[in-house]
Amino acid sequence: MSRENRPEIQWRFLILTLVYLGLVGLFYFRYVPMIPSFQMALLPILGAAFGLTAVRFKWGLLFFVLAFPLINNLPYFFGIYGDVPHAPTALILFLFFFLGWMVNSIFSSSRISLNNPLFKPLFFFSVLIFISALISFFRYSNFFPFLTDHVYELQTNVEGVTAGGAIMSAVFFALNYLSGFALFFIVVNRVRQREFLKKIVVVLLISTCLSIGFGFYQQFGNMEQGNNPISFNQGFINGTFKDAMSFGGYLAVVVPLLLSLVFFFKGVRRIFSLVVFHLAMIILPNTGSRSGLIAFILSLVLFGGLYMFVSRKHGSYSLKKAMIRVAALVLIMAAVLTIVLFFKGAVVSQRLNELWVSYKQGGLDKALAERSSSIWKGAAYMIRDYPLTGVGMGAFIIELPNYAQVHEFSLRTTDSAENYWIQVMAELGIMGLFFALWMFGVLFKQMKQSLTNRLSQDRWKFLQIGISCSIVSMMLIFCVHTFIGSYELKYTFWLLAGMLFISSPPEEKSRPPVLGSRFLLFFSAALITVFTGFQLWNSTHSLSLERQSDVLGLDQSFGFYAIEQTQSGTEFQWSKKRGCLRIRVKEPVLKVPVMASHPDIKQNPVQVKIFLVKDFFREKNMLDQVVLTNSSWETRTFHLPEEVGRQITLLFEVSRTWNPWKMTGALDIRNLGIALGEIKQFPAQGRKNQK
């Protein structure tokens, strides 16, 4: 290749790619289960997403659209459920797709455009989310590395969720927003021809058909296969999605798009679209999603109404178009009648009947008992206490049990706010709500333009109507679900949003630059600055772990497994790499027995550091450093007369752990540090810190 034909390297993208690669590596090894069989199934998919996108962006995008609805239940085939915290596979797929896009952009000559009107609110909303998530990380890590030297597994709520789980919540919830925004940004920047949308919708059509096909296999073959325990126990079908509610929500969102494809395509693709449309209609009731069913019906009614309105507005009175309008209405009626009559015994019918019975017994409050009496009540208290900033990104699900204890209301399950707007208000406050309303306001403005002055006169108008109805369906579902953990739903939504902008013909007049309004720019920057200040203040005062521990009485002992007994009946506990124990000092002399059982301890001794922790882990005073060279108990004696009558915190740090299952084949998968025996206290005598 001659020097003239070589692509120019975008050095900014190269540096950003290297940084992003390091972050993805940390994320992968931290949150993706390293089960060999699972990795063998997952890695080829991730490799394909990255490789195709890096080489040919459009190939990679089509592969991502094909794969993200299909791989969400992949962990369930390997026994990975909610009791094993792990990153959703759709999120992992997007991270590798995004990496491929960054690599592709290093050598791409196409420039990034910022003229899309939605970029402005997305940018400021993203900054707000990132700052909130960052502050939540510092709060739950006890402001590591500024105040402490490690991220200790301190308890963050009354249900025992530790700092690692709370940080995971902040990271995942932030990525639920940010990765969706990023997908929209990529799509509208790199897909600039309407004709390529045909390929996208065909691939999405195929993916939906495959997911529905697996749902029918579950229904008539093996419901437990690829299903999570919650959905399976309730008799719900989840298809290839995270859970049944996500599957039902997805079907409700794509059904209007499927109906539009029946009119948009011709020939075989039209028949295929019609078949998938009816299959989606048939399987939807067995997902058990009431909101999905209602949104499905309303979106079809909206589709028929919009089509009739558009046809009349353009004066389309030909026999052919009149027949198409009648056919659309017949399809809508057939959908409703099929659900009401043929699937009367479906699980969604039972759930709707339960909802109706509850409503007749106690009105709307009774029907929405779970939400209004606990989840929404907790959200209301959070909004009242922190109206400007909320409790922090990812913190709603962590703080909800704490609020339930303080305000004495029952909480059957800890979940998201089950309402998009309430979730935003509870976690990001009024300022977050401002940017969210701005964002959706621009989106609805685009929908209005797409259906009026920018509506195509050819078959593309069907696709514009279908995309708009699908977005409205998702907005209806957002009123009763957030899908904060269902990344596949968020990617569907933002893919449709990108398709909405691409499907509309370009305007004759060029748009002003996205950051053209100085007042709006400075106003948004001021809001974010104020938000940051208030959020930092709250996180270092009323929401800090130290304050929460005092108010809620959290026991900040951590890093030890359950109590066991030796053959002689002596009690002990195995530690992890770090273990913390809080005890009340009644006598000035403490005797602490420790032991390590590493198989190679003679060749590689184990070092144990014992600290007295003060000022909520801001100060660590080393009491002793023990070197264990054999698997015998060794007792250390500490004189602490100044601590008598107080509750102290002892921290044990082990130089290395060992895994019995990996090293000896024993049925014990724990990573063991040291065994800590019963700590005994005695009156003052002898020398300090002696064996």
Return mean pLDDT, the chain.
88
**Closest residue by Cα to residue 579 from 144, 163, 153, 167:** 153
- Cα angle at 256 between 327 and 302, to 5 degrees? 75
Task: Report the pLDDT value the prediction gives residue 500, as an integer from 0 to 100.
Answer: 94
Average pLDDT over residues 165-192: 95
Q: Which of 4-8, 64-68, 333-337 has the highest mean pLDDT?
A: 64-68
Q: Which of 23-27, 244-248, 348-352, 435-439 has the lowest mean pLDDT?
A: 348-352
> Residue 167: inside a domain, yes or no?
no
Using the Cα atoms of residue 664, residue 666, residue 669 and residue 674 in order, give the sign of their dihedral: negative
Task: Report the pLDDT value the prediction gives residue 453, as an integer from 0 to 100.
Answer: 84
Name the band, by pLDDT with cuts 50, 70 and 90, for residue 527.
Answer: very high
Q: Say whether both 488 and 391 belong to one domain.
A: yes
Task: Indicate whether 85 pLDDT > 70.
Answer: yes
Q: Say whether both 661 and 537 belong to one domain.
A: no
> Residue 514: inside a domain, yes or no?
yes
Average pLDDT over residues 587-602: 95
DSSP state of 317: -
> Residue 316: inside a domain, yes or no?
no
Task: Report the pLDDT value the prediction gives residue 333, as an integer from 0 to 100.
Answer: 60
> Residue 362: inside a domain, yes or no?
no
Q: Say whether both 498 and 621 belong to one domain.
A: no
Residue that is last in its domain, among 523, 556, 589: 556
Q: Say whether both 377 and 509 belong to one domain.
A: yes
Query: To 10 degrees, what angle do helices 163-190 and 396-406 make?
Result: 140
Name the band, by pLDDT with cuts 50, 70 and 90, for residue 1.
Answer: very low
Judge contact between 74 and 88, C-beta under 8 A.
no
The tens digit of pLDDT for each residue in 4-55 reads 555 567 778 889 999 999 999 999 999 999 889 999 999 999 999 999 999 9
Task: Please indicate whether residue 643 or residue 2 has the higher confidence score (pLDDT).
Answer: 643
In three-state secondary structure terms, 621 is strand
The tens digit of pLDDT for each residue in 110-132 reads 778 888 999 999 999 999 999 99
In three-state secondary structure terms, 480 is coil
Is-cis flag, bond preceding 683, omega within 30?
A: no
Q: Say whether both 421 and 530 belong to one domain.
A: yes
Judge contact between 651 and 639, C-beta under 8 A.
no
Bridge partners, residue 680, by sequence: 591
Q: Which of 73-82, 91-100, 556-565 has the highest mean pLDDT?
A: 91-100
Q: Say whether both 548 and 662 belong to one domain.
A: no
Question: Distance (Å, rounded) from C-alpha 236 to C-alpha 346?
Answer: 10
Structural domain total, the chain: 2
Q: Say whether both 564 and 577 belong to one domain.
A: yes
Judge contact between 73 and 242, C-beta under 8 A.
yes
Task: Please indicate whether residue 320 or residue 430 has the higher confidence score (pLDDT).
Answer: 430
Task: Indicate whether 2 pLDDT > 50.
Answer: no
Task: Indicate whether 139 pLDDT > 80.
Answer: yes
In three-state secondary structure terms, 353 is helix
Q: Say whether both 579 and 676 belong to one domain.
A: yes
Q: Which of 1-10, 218-227, 580-589 has the highest mean pLDDT?
A: 580-589
Q: Say whether both 530 and 567 belong to one domain.
A: no
CA atoms within 13 A on the CB side of 284: 30
> Residue 122: inside a domain, yes or no?
yes
Task: Give residue 240's Cα distance to chain centre.
Answer: 17
CA distances from 324 to 329, 331, 460 (A): 9, 10, 15
Q: What is the pTM of this model?
A: 0.91
Judge contact between 460 and 401, C-beta under 8 A.
no
How many Cβ atoms sit within 10 Å of the Cβ of residue 36?
Answer: 8
Judge contact between 625 and 607, C-beta under 8 A.
yes
Q: Say whether both 584 and 647 belong to one domain.
A: yes
Task: Report the pLDDT value the prediction gives residue 228, as an integer from 0 to 100.
Answer: 87
Share of the chain above pLDDT 90, in %: 65
Question: Distance (Å, rounded) from C-alpha 74 to C-alpha 280?
Answer: 21
> Residue 272: inside a domain, yes or no?
no
Q: Say whether both 594 and 654 belong to one domain.
A: yes
Task: Indicate whether 373 pLDDT > 50.
Answer: yes
Residue that is last in its domain, among 556, 587, 616: 556
> Residue 668: inside a domain, yes or no?
yes
Question: Distance (Å, rounded) from C-alpha 152 to C-alpha 613?
Answer: 12
Q: Say whether both 388 and 440 belong to one domain.
A: yes
The residue segments making up the domain with residue 572 are 558-682
Task: Report the pLDDT value the prediction gives residue 341, as an integer from 0 to 100.
Answer: 47
CATH of the domain at 620: 2.60.120
Task: Report the pLDDT value the prediction gives residue 342, as an integer from 0 to 100.
Answer: 53
> Residue 424: inside a domain, yes or no?
yes
Average pLDDT over residues 244-259: 93
Task: Report the pLDDT value the prediction gives residue 349, as an integer from 0 to 100.
Answer: 65
The tens digit of pLDDT for each residue in 98-112 reads 999 999 998 877 778
The total number of residues written for the chain in this structure: 691
Phi then psi dihedrals of residue 287, to 5 deg: -80, -20
Residue that is last in its domain, among 556, 580, 603: 556
DSSP state of 1: -
CA distances from 73 to 30, 70, 207 (A): 20, 8, 14
